């Protein structure tokens, strides 16, 4: 009987021993697969050279923990960056402590930045998500510039790319926004985009890695979390291969985007003219394009106009001049055959300058926009040059100071050689000035009367007559 029990005992021992061996073998195979896939993905996409010094963005969550573990086992030259946003009270501090311990475990340098996210939100009037992103990437840039890191690796994976696709879709993004998350964006690289969240968690379990859970990710307060926790699971009920299919589609869409952008950029170069303080868009080029509304979106989206605004702009291409659209940082004005786009912080300066008889005797006077030259000539020497840069007045009729300032709506003047009063706004229409050109116009006034629309037309006031003895010549250079 004892012998029978002994053999049964040995049988079970061998069984469990074999199971353990199989488990170890499976773990080794899974690690080997992930490890090879990680290195191959970096090499195939030229994310960085394995000798480069890399900064890892580590929050303490499963994705960044796996990134750290793979980086260590790949013998990368790296350090860890952690930003404490202080959004979850003591939990945020525990995350920081965990990441510090992680850096100690892998024996790598760590840089920790503590920020007041709520103050940044209030100061910049943006969302918490946007504030956290700004603060995070600002810190990465600082460390790369000061500590000599060539790239920062962030732990986005396939599921993040799918969530970004749907998030951008709800915001009305163009094809660029619908291609998901870029593998490489300047100095930011994403070496985990070849892995799904399921692969990440399997790696965590197989290697017995510890990680932190951000409880806010389990809630559906923010848009991304709603997509992650509510929308995507519904699609997976319809098709269990949903994520794999979307990932493939994003890859095809990314390739299509490259073709699309080649054509769009060629047309944009014909339609868009950039000046020092404004941009002009040729409406004729837009109207001749095979998909004009699409082209409008691609042009104005660069200036912060969303898809709904782009559609409205498109519907007003044939409307009267003067229609204004506003984005957060730009103003767009429809003006005859062009769209004029100007930053909101570039404002027309309403300055006023006074020119005295002393300035006339000195021979010149400068404003921010013009250099005036003065000369007094006798009537017998009067030989006028008829161009838009020179004007002549009866000096004895002028009342000083002469005032140079901006035009205002309602201003009128009597054009030189005419005997009627004309509105400046009508004069500008006749001269076919666009909105931007109108804003740059300055006037010269004498005793309240407009005597010169500078650089465009003098008025009939104080003109040289038969009784004139002394003539004031004013020229701009």
Interatomic CA distance for residues 323 and 338, integer angstroms: 12
Cis upstream peptide for 474 (omega within 30°): no
Q: If we measure between CA atoms, which residue out of 424, 429, 430, 417 comes closest to residue 391?
A: 417
For the chain, list residues with pLDDT below 70. 1-31, 180, 215-222, 345-350
Q: Read off the pLDDT of residues 31-86 as tens digits, 9 standing for 90 and up.
A: 578 888 999 999 988 999 999 999 999 999 999 999 999 999 999 999 999 999 99
For the chain, domains (ranges, CATH) are: 34-253 (3.40.50.620), 275-343 (no CATH), 353-476 (3.50.40.10)
0.75 exceeded by pTM: no
φ/ψ bin of 464: left (φ > 0), alpha (ψ from -120 to 50), beta (otherwise): beta
Q: Read off the pLDDT of residues 270-295 as tens digits, 9 standing for 90 and up.
A: 999 998 888 999 999 999 999 999 99
Question: Above pLDDT 90, what percent of the chain?
Answer: 52
Burial degree of 166 (CB within 10 A; 0-12, 13-18, 19+)? buried
The pLDDT score that the predictor gives to residue 220 is 47
Cα–Cα distances (Å) from 124 to 135, 171, 282, in that order, read 12, 21, 34
Q: Contact 283/338 with Cβ under 8 angstroms? A: yes
Q: Which H or E element spans position 230?
A: none
């Amino acid at each position: 009987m004892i012998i029978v029990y002994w053999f049964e005992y040995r049988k079970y021992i061998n069984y469990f021993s074999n199971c353990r061996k199989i488990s170890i073998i499976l773990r080794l195979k899974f690690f080997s697969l992930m490890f090879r896939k990680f290195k191959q993905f970096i090499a195939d996409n030229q994310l960085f050279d394995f000798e480069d010094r890399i900064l890892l963005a580590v929050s303490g969550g499963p994705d960044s923990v796996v990134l750290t573990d793979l980086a260590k086992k790949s013998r990368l030259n790296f350090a860890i960056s952690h930003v404490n946003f202080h959004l979850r009270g003591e939990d945020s501090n525990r995350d920081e402590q965990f990441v510090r311990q992680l850096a100690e475990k892998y024996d790598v340098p760590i840089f920790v930045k503590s920020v007041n996210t709520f103050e940044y939100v209030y100061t910049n009037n943006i969302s918490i998500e946007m504030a956290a992103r700004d603060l995070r990437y600002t810190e990465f840039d600082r460390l790369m510039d000061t500590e000599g890191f060539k790239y920062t690796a962030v732990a986005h994976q396939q599921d993040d790319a799918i969530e970004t696709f749907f998030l951008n879709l709800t915001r009305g993004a163009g094809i660029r926004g619908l291609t998901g998350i870029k593998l490489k964006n300047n100095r930011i690289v994403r070496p985990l985009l070849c892995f799904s969240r399921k692969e990440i968690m399997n790696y965590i379990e197989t290697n017995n890695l510890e990680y932190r859970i951000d409880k806010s990710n389990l809630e559906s307060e923010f848009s991304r979390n709603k997509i992650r926790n509510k929308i995507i699971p519904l699609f997976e009920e319809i098709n269990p291969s949903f994520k794999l299919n979307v990932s493939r589609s994003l890859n095809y869409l990314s390739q299509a985007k490259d073709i699309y952008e080649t054509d769009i950029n060629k047309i944009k170069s014909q339609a868009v003219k950039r000046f020092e303080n404004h941009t002009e868009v040729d409406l004729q080029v837009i109207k001749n394009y095979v998909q004009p509304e699409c082209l409008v979106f691609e042009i104005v989206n660069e200036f912060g106009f969303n898809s709904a605004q782009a559609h409205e702009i498109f519907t007003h291409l044939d409307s009267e001049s003067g229609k204004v659209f506003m984005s957060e940082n730009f103003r767009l004005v429809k003006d005859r055959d062009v769209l004029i786009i100007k930053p909101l912080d570039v404002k027309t300066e309403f300055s006023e300058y006074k020119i005295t008889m002393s300035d006339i005797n000195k021979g010149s006077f400068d404003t921010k926009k013009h250099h005036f030259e003065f000369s007094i000539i006798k009537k017998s020497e009067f030989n006028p040059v008829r161009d838009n840069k020179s004007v002549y007045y009866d000096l004895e009729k002028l009342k000083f100071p002469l005032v140079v300032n901006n035009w205002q709506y309602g201003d009128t003047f009597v054009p030189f050689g005419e005997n009627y009063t004309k509105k400046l706004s009508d004069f500008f229409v006749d001269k076919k000035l666009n909105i931007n050109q109108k804003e740059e116009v300055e006037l010269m006034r004498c005793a309240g009367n407009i005597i010169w629309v500078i650089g465009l037309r003098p008025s009939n006031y104080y003109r040289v007559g038969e009784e004139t003895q002394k003539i004031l010549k004013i020229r701009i250079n």
